[in-house]
Amino acid sequence: MDFDYSPRTREMIDRLDGFMRTHVLPANQAFHETAARGEYPLAILEPLKAKAYAEGLWNLFLPDLEETDPGTRLSNLEYAPLAEIMGRVPWSSEVFNCSAPDTGNMEILKRFATPEQKQKWLDPLLRGEIRSVVGLTEPDTASSDLTNLTTTIRRDGDHYVINGRKWFSTGARHPNAKICLLFGVSDPSPDAPRHRRHSFVIVPLDAPGVEVVRDVPIMHHHAPEGHCEVVYRNVRVPVENLLGKEGDGFLLAQERLGPGRIHHCMRTIGQCELALELMCDRALQRSTFGKTLAERSNIQDWIAQSRFEIDQARLLVLRTAWKMDREGTKAARVDVSAIKVVAARLQTNVVDRAMQVFGAAGITPDTPLSYLWSWGRALRYIDGPDEVHLMVIAREELAKAKAATGRNAAHFVRPH
């Protein structure tokens, strides 16, 4: 057992941290001003991307790459502290080609796409030339149970015809977004097996019948790239655009979610560290009724609790990454559910305290806090609501208990 980062990890931390301070943070104000004008800040991003690519800070999230693919080839465990650092400036992941949903999309394209699909879509994604969207959640369906989803993917000759409405299609307004990995019902027959009814198809966003009807703000926050509502009306794509096999939809969705979820959690840790730092800074500066806030024991309690809540959550995230590296995504499924719940709650709790220390300023967009809170709140739903993850964890625990019935009988004291 060893709690130290490896020398390679420490070196990567230093390099990434240096890049952030030298290149990214100085552009932060301009990024937000541009985005506030409704313009996607590509002019800021592209030179940063080129620099990151050149310095080998690229595709940091992807452990296994072909020899010809660009990227740094880190394990999940090595990636974790880097995702933390990127998390502190939410838009910065794109600089290093580590943005959701591209990350998850690249992962399943890597594992399940045909050589033609890879050449057409994965390669430009790996090079950061295009961006992509995933189409899962639907506004009129309880989407936390994926088998509920109703968008249809109907075979018609050598095409699929798609009809449906998706929302929270993140990135659909990004100027570089080219495709959506769309999830829908390919086998509507009532006696089809529940987990084999859905498939994924790759839908070019410029296909006729695809309409981005609106951007849906999350807790009133409009992301520059959009969390969009997208309508598909008789959209036709060639059958070659099927990802994997017909009926593989549920399987691929599950594969996709493991790493996606842990990346969110890693960024959360970094964002909470930032919130805690800001909370301390502010508490040291502000005085009311003759004392700094830092001298008040209730504020001190918030700081201390934030400290050990973050530390605990980070350790759980790191252990999960380590397990994914050693035993695979599937073996860490319950671990991922746990960190997913832990991280989202952590984020709202820690950031909420920080906002309160900032007073009125905390609920304005002048600090990063109101966005970080909103995002944390959304994380209690994104990639599965807390309640589903809690159910997964409980079932595992109950199964263990069932398998060991009677193990603890001697701990009871029988009265006479």
Q: Site residues for its own copies, window 346-365 (CB under 8 A)?
A: 352, 355-356, 359-365
Give the dihedral of Cα atoms 67, 71, 77, 80; nearest 10 deg: -170
Q: Is 397 in the site for its own copies (CB under 8 A)?
A: yes
Q: Is 3 in the site for its own copies (CB under 8 A)?
A: yes
| Footprint (CB under 8 A) of its own copies, residues 47-76 | none
**Cβ-contact 181, 230 below 8 angstroms:** no
Give whichever of 35 and 130 is closer to its own copies, judged by the CB atom.
Answer: 35
The residues, any chain, with a CB within 8 Å of residue 146's CB and separated by 6 or more, are 136, 183, 198, 250, 253
Q: Is 195 in the site for its own copies (CB under 8 A)?
A: no
| Footprint (CB under 8 A) of its own copies, residues 263-282 | 274, 276-278, 280-281
**Cβ-contact 243, 256 below 8 angstroms:** no
Q: Is the dihedral of CA 68, 74, 76, 82 positive or negative?
A: negative
Structure tokens at 312: 């605990």
Q: Is 301 in the site for its own copies (CB under 8 A)?
A: yes
Residue from 26, 188, 208, 238 binding its own copies (CB under 8 A): 26
Among the listed ranges 101-109, 220-228, 230-238, 239-247, the one in contact with its own copies (CB under 8 A) is 220-228
Binding mask 75-114 for its own copies (x = CB under 8 A): --x----------xx-------------------------
Residue from 37, 68, 158, 289 binding its own copies (CB under 8 A): 289
The CA distance from 60 to 45, in Å, is 17
Q: Is 294 in the site for its own copies (CB under 8 A)?
A: yes
Residue from 157, 175, 189, 410 binding its own copies (CB under 8 A): 410
Among the listed ranges 143-151, 177-185, 230-238, 239-247, the one in contact with its own copies (CB under 8 A) is 143-151
Q: Minimal distance in Å, beta carbon 163 to its own copies?
A: 19
**Cβ-contact 249, 109 below 8 angstroms:** no
Q: Is 368 in the site for its own copies (CB under 8 A)?
A: yes
The CA distance from 269 to 325, in Å, is 19
Buried b / exposed e along 395-405 (16+ C-beta atoms within 10 A): eeeeeeeeeee
Angle formed at CA 274 by CA 273 and CA 275, multiple of 5 degrees: 90
Structure tokens at 340: 């997913």
Residue from 67, 158, 191, 408 binding its own copies (CB under 8 A): 408
Structure tokens at 205: 């966003």
Burial class (CB in 10 A: 0-12, 13-18, 19+), 13: middle
Burial class (CB in 10 A: 0-12, 13-18, 19+), 19: buried
Q: Is 323 in the site for its own copies (CB under 8 A)?
A: yes
Structure tokens at 284: 């040291």
Q: Is 398 in the site for its own copies (CB under 8 A)?
A: yes
Give whichever of 331 and 401 is closer to its own copies, judged by the CB atom.
Answer: 401
Structure tokens at 341: 């719940």
**183 three-state secondary structure:** strand
CA-nearest of 302, 307, 300 to 269 is 307
Q: Is 18 in the site for its own copies (CB under 8 A)?
A: no
| Footprint (CB under 8 A) of its own copies, residues 145-164 | 145, 148
**341 three-state secondary structure:** helix
Among the listed ranges 56-64, 123-131, 217-225, 232-240, the one in contact with its own copies (CB under 8 A) is 217-225
Count of residues of this chain found to bind its own copies when the rule CB under 8 A is applied: 120
Give, to the nearest 10 degrees, the angle between helix 333-358 and helix 386-403: 140
Q: Is 331 in the site for its own copies (CB under 8 A)?
A: no
Q: Is 233 in the site for its own copies (CB under 8 A)?
A: no
The CA distance from 31 to 43, in Å, is 9
Q: Is 327 in the site for its own copies (CB under 8 A)?
A: no
Q: How many CB atoms lie within 10 A of CB 300?
A: 13
Q: Minimal distance in Å, beta carbon 39 to its own copies?
A: 16
Q: Is 305 in the site for its own copies (CB under 8 A)?
A: yes
Structure tokens at 302: 């918030």
Residue from 52, 82, 177, 318 binding its own copies (CB under 8 A): 318
Among the listed ranges 53-61, 120-128, 135-143, 153-161, the one in contact with its own copies (CB under 8 A) is 135-143
Q: Is 170 in the site for its own copies (CB under 8 A)?
A: no
Among the listed ranges 119-127, 179-187, 199-207, 366-374, the one in contact with its own copies (CB under 8 A) is 366-374
Among the listed ranges 50-58, 153-161, 209-217, 239-247, the one in contact with its own copies (CB under 8 A) is 209-217
Which residue is associated with the tokens 């296909």?
A: 207
